[in-house]
Structure 1
Amino acid sequence: MNRSFLVLTTLIISSLAVSAPQTYKASMRDGTKLATDVYLPEGDGPWPVIFLRFPYNKAMGTGIGSEANKRGFVFVAQDTRGRFASEGENLPFDADGQADGKWDGYDSAEWIAKQPWCNGKIGTWGGSAGAITQYLLAGTGQPNVVSQHLTVGSPSLFRDSIYRGGIFRTAMVEDWLKMTQFEPRALDLWTKNYPLTQYWLDREIIGRYGKVNAAGVHIGGWFDIFAQATLDAFLGYQTRGSPGARGKQKLVMGPWTHAVLNDKAGDLTFPGAKRIPGDVQDPWKWFAATLQGQANGILEAPAVTYYTMGAIGEEGAPGNQWHTAAAWPPVKTQDRMLYLSADHKAAFESPSESHKLSFTSDPVNPVPSIGGYELTIPAGPKDQQPIESRPDVLVFTTEPLSEPMEVTGNAIARVKINSDAPDTDLIVRLCDVYPDGRSFNICEGALRLSLRDGPDHQIWLKAGEPVSVEIKLWPTSMIFNRGHRLRVHIASTSFRALEPNRQNGQPPRTGDNRIANNTVFLGKEASCLVLPVAEEK
C-alpha cells in the first residue's frame, strides 16, 4: 500500500540534498521501543514538527527530512511496531490506535511534543498505510496533532478496507501481507475476527471522530482501493470532528487508482488529471499554513476539489475537468431510478410488469475480476466485455443517451433477491458503454447478504424467501456522453478481488463450497439502480 506515497514524494526526494538524522528509541507505554529518526533544522528552535510513521522503513524519509529542514520544520520518521529497527510484534496497524492498551501513535506524538526542539505543534504526513496510521492516531485525541496530510488511506480496517460489504478482499490483502512480510498470523486474525467484532472497533475511528483535533487534507481516487473510505473520513472529520477539525478539512478526489496524481488509470488516460487547481494537494503549502501560520491561501481554498470524468477520445465530450465546491455532495442532484427488466434492458421509465431472472453462483468457478478497486492486480477502468456473456452475470443496458448525463455521488442498488443457499454475495457494477461496444467499469458496490441488516451480525437466508437489500456503490463523478449507454452488472462473485462466499451458512473459510441458485426480482417495485443525476446548471 505504499505506491501512492512514493508517487507523491518521488519528485520531492529525487532532487534533495541528504541530511543525517539523529536516531532515538522512543519508549511506548508498555516499554516497547520504536526506532525514530529526527532531522533538525539549523539554528535555534523550537520548531513545528512533521511526523511520518509507517511500516515501510523510516530511511525513506531522508530526502523529505532535508527539505522539511530547509522550510523550517523538524522532520521525524518512525518505523512502526515490529518493523525494521523497531521492537515489538510485527502485526499491521495493531498498535497504531488504542487497541489492547497499545497507543503507539499517541505515545510517539507525546514523546515528540516533550522534546526541546518541538514547539508543541505536530503535523502528520503519509500515504496508504502511512495514512491509516494517521487516522488511527487522530482518533486517540492526541492534542498536539493539529494538522494532517492523508493520501489514499482509511479510517476503518473492516469497513471498505480489509473487507468490502463484509466480503474479504483476497488479492489486495493477501498479496500486500506477503509483499510486506508481516507475521503470517496477521491473516488469521483478519479472517477469524468476523464479522465486525470488538477487535475491529478497537482498530477504527468511526466512533471517535469527535476526538480528532486536526485540520486535514484527504486525497483519494475514484478507482482507489480506499475511494469510499477517503470520502467517509473527510465527512467524519468535517462534520463530526472536534472544533480543531470541524469545518477545517479539504478533499481532493481525482480519476486515479492507488497511484494518485497520474493521468492514466486502467485503460483510460484522463486529460489534466495531474493539474490540480489551487495546489490543495501540496503538503508543504498545507503545513506552512497550518503549522507556521503562513497566509498562502490554502486554508481559504474550497473544501472540495474533484475531477468529473467524461468520455475519452471523443472531441467535444463534456467532463474531464476539475471542479471545486464548498461541501460534499458538490452539486444538486435528483435521484433517477434506472429500472431493470427481464429482457436485459435498463430504462428510466417504470415497467408495467414484474419479472425475474435467475443465475447460478459457483464459488469454484467465480466471475473473474477485471479492473476496479485493486492494488496488486490490474486496477481502474477496464473493458468488461469478457465477462458480460457469462451466465452468472446479469447484464442490463440502456438505449443510447440522447443527451449527456452527469452522475456525481453514490449510486444505490436496490435489489430484491432470493436464494436456495443460506448465504450469498451481491456485486453490482455500473459501466459506461461506448458506441464501439467497449464497456468500462465506473463504480461498484458489494454486500454479503448475511450482513444485510448490519456489519456486526449475520442473518442467514431462508431458502426461496425473497429479501430486499440496498447496496451503496462507491462514489464517482462521471458524465456519460450522448450516444453512450449505461450498463448494470449483477453477480455474486468477482475473484480475485473478492473471496467467493462458500454459501454454506458457516463461518468464512470453513466447510464445503455450495452452489447457490439466485433469483433477482425485476419490475416497478423490485430491483433498480438509483442514480444521483446532477441537475442542469
Structure 2
Amino acid sequence: MPAQHSTADRQTGIVRLLLLAVAVWCVLASPASGAVGVRDFCCRVPMSDGLRLATHVYLPRFPKGRCPVILIRTPYPLDQFGRLEARFACREGFGLAVQEIRGSSRAHPRAVVSEAESGGEPWSSGRRHCGTPLFEQDGWMGSQDGQTTIRWIARQAWCNGQVLTWGPSAMGITQNLLAPGAPAALKAQMIAMAPSDMFAQAVFQGGALRKEAVEGWLAEMPFAKDNLEAILAHPTYDPFWARRNCLPQAERVNAPALFIGGWHDAFLQGTLDSFAAIQNRGGPAARGKCRLVVGPWTHADLVWVVDPRQAERLPAAASAVRFFREQLFSCGRAGRSMPVCYYLMGDSCDPGSPGGRWCASERWPPPSTATTFYFHADGSLARSAPVEPGRLSFQYDPGNPVSTRGGRNLARQAGPLDQRSVESRSDVLVFSTDVLHHPLVVAGRIEARLHVSSDCPDTDFTVKLTDVYPDGRSILVCDGILRARFRESFAQPSLLEPGRVYPLTVDLWSTAIAFSRGHRIRVAISSSNAPRFEPNPNTGAPLLPPAPPRTANNTVHLSPAHASSIVLPICSGAE
C-alpha cells in the first residue's frame, strides 16, 4: 500500500520548503542595489522540439536596463511561488525567470503583455505539457530544455547575457541536469538539497525503493501513477537512470555552484557527491570554485531561518546573493574563504562537547582516520576483532517490518529521533560500545562491512548508527540499506544461494558528529525500515508484478574468518 500522507501535510511541506528557499536566498545578502519595485510578465518559451514552456519573468522596475537573470525551473505550478523570491532578487539588481518544466502542471491563466514585449509566445490558459516523464528532457543527453531556456534568456533585451540558476529539491535537480555542457551564459548556480544521481540518491537507495519519498513526492505531481509505473519499470541501473545521473559528466560543468545540504536531508549524499565531483573534476571555470554548506537540517525543516532574529545562525557562506556576486564581479572574498562550511553536531546540553558549532575546511570530507569497530556476539562494539566463532540470527517477516523512526525522510517526520522503541524488537541486532571516556569526532562517509547469510534468495540488510545518551536515549545519526541481490552491482543483480556466507557493504552516507564523553556509540542491524523503504518480499522475484512474500531467517556472522564491522572516519586529534 502507498505511504499515507494527508493533502494538508504535503501542502505544508511544499510551503515550508519554499519559505526555506527564500530564506537561504536572502540571508546575509549584500546591501540592496538601486533596484526598486518589480515589473513582470508571462510568456511561453520555445524548446527545440517546438513545445513552449510557461515562464514568468520578473525584472527590476528601476533602474531600467539589462541585468543578470536568475532562472528557476520547477515542476510545481507557477502560482505557488515567485513573487516573494522576485522581491529579493530584484532588490539586489537581478531579474528572475520561473519556468515550469516539461511534464508538469500549468492551469493558472492570467493576462500577459504582448508577444513582442515579452520575447516569447504569450501565456494562455491550457492543459499541462505533453505526457513526458518528469526530467526526461532535462538530462545531459538529447534535447535539453534547461540549456535551451538559458540561451533564450541570454538573448533577451532585458538580460545582460549573464544567467544564474537557483533553487532547492526538485528545482535543484533541474540545475544538476542542465549543468553539463550548459551555454557559456550560465555563470553560477545555487543548488540546495538535491540528488545528482536519481537512481542511487533519490529512488533506489542501496537498491531498495524509497517508498515514502517516491510515493509522497509523486502524490504532488500530475499523472503520479504514470510516473510511478515508469520508475518501477526500471528497478536496476540502466540507460533510463544513466540519463538522470550527472556525476559522470562533471568534466562538462563550467559553472561553479554553491551547494547547500543538511545532515538529515533526504538527498544529503547527492549534495556532497555533486560538490566533490565538480570541485575536483569540473571544467576550468568550475573546478576549485565551488562552495559547500551543510547544516543540521532535514529536507524542509528550516523555517526558523525566515525569522530575522535567527539570521545569525545561518553562516554567511550560505548566502546565494553573496556567492553570485563573487562569481559575476570576481570579488576577492571568494578566494580567501574556505570552500567547505559544515555544522558539527553533538550533545547540545554538554558544555564539554566539541560539537554544536560550525567548522570550515579546505575539502570534504575533512582529514580523518578510517577506524574499524567490530560487532561481537555478546552485543559489544569494539575496535578489537573477534577471536572466537560467533553469529547472530533473526527472523524477518515482510508483513511485520521495523517501523521507520526519523532519519532522512522526505514525506514523513525526519531527523534524529530516539530508536529505543524499535531496538527492542527481536528482529533487530544491537551492538554498543563501552561508555566513552573522551569525545569522539566522526566526519565523513560511513559504511558497514557485513558477512551475512539467509535462507532466501534475496533479502535486505539495514544498518543504523546512533548516539546513546547517559539517560538511555538512542538518537539516530545516520542509516543505510542494501538489497542483497545488488551486493556486487546495481546493474546486474545476483541472487543469494541459501545458507552461503556473503560479504556485503551497507552505505550509511555521511555525517559530522561529536560523540560526547559519557555517551556510547551504537549500531542496530535488521532487514527492514518501513515505510521509508519498500519491504523486501524475500522471494528474489522481479519488482513487478509483486510476488507473495516469505519470511527470511537472516544471519550476521561475527567470527574471525567472517568478521562484521562498521568503519568510522575519526577526525585527527579528536580522541
TM-score w.r.t. length of structure 1? 0.93
Query: How do residues 89-488 of structure 1 correspond to structure 2 at under 5 angstroms?
Result: 89=131, 91-98=133-140, 101-259=142-300, 261=302, 275-277=313-315, 279-291=316-328, 293=329, 295=331, 297-330=333-366, 332-488=367-523
Aligned partner (choices 536, 547, 555) of residue 519 of structure 1: 555
Q: Is the 8 A contact 1:340 1:347 kept in 2?
A: yes
Q: 1:273 to 1:489 in 2, by over 3 A?
A: farther
Match of 2:50 in 1: 31
Displacement of 1:321: 0.5
> Equivalents in 1 of 2:170, 2:526: separation in Å?
31
> Equivalents in 1 of 2:455, 2:346: separation in Å?
41
> Equivalents in 2 of 1:97, 1:79: separation in Å?
16
Unaligned runs of 5+ residues in structure 1 are: 265-271
Q: CA offsets per residue over residues 426-465 of structure 1, 9 Å max, x none?
A: 1111100011110011011211111111211100111111
Letter of the 1:424 counterpart = T
> Equivalents in 1 of 2:44, 2:322: separation in Å?
30
Moved more, 4-13 or 440-449: 4-13
Q: 1:308 to 1:12 in 2, by over 3 A?
A: closer
Moved more, 45-54 or 388-397: 45-54
Letter of the 1:275 counterpart = R
> Equivalents in 2 of 1:425, 1:446: separation in Å?
7
Give the 3-state SS of the residue equivalent to 2:220 in structure 1.
helix
Aligned partner (choices 69, 79, 100) of residue 49 of structure 1: 69
Displacement of 1:361: 1.5
Q: Is the 8 A contact 2:100 2:106 kept in 1?
A: yes
Letter of the 2:291 counterpart = K
Displacement of 1:176: 1.3
Aligned partner (choices 529, 532, 535) of residue 569 of structure 2: 532
Q: Is the 8 A contact 2:441 2:513 kept in 1?
A: yes
> Equivalents in 2 of 1:420, 1:252: separation in Å?
44
The count of aligned residue pairs is 526
Ranges of 4+ aligned residues in structure 1 off by more than 4 Å: 10-18, 260-264
Match of 1:268 in 2: none
> Equivalents in 1 of 2:223, 2:255: separation in Å?
30
> Equivalents in 2 of 1:192, 1:274: separation in Å?
47
Moved more, 504-513 or 373-382: 504-513
Displacement of 1:393: 0.8
Q: Is the 8 A contact 1:261 1:273 kept in 2?
A: no
Unaligned runs of 5+ residues in structure 2 are: 1-12, 108-127
> Equivalents in 2 of 1:30, 1:174: separation in Å?
30
Give the 3-state SS of the residue equivalent to 1:126 in structure 2.
strand
Q: 1:348 to 1:273 in 2, by over 3 A?
A: farther
Q: CA offsets per residue over residues 86-115 of structure 1, 9 Å max, x none?
A: 63226322222245x441111111111221
Q: 1:392 to 1:274 in 2, by over 3 A?
A: farther
Q: Is the 8 A contact 2:24 2:320 kept in 1?
A: no
Displacement of 1:355: 0.4
Match of 2:122 in 1: none
> Equivalents in 1 of 2:557, 2:313: separation in Å?
45
Q: 1:123 to 1:77 in 2, by over 3 A?
A: same
Give the 3-state SS of the residue equivalent to 1:486 in structure 2.
strand
Match of 1:84 in 2: 106
Q: Is the 8 A contact 1:220 1:260 kept in 2?
A: no
> Equivalents in 2 of 1:299, 1:155: separation in Å?
26
Displacement of 1:335: 1.9
Match of 2:125 in 1: none
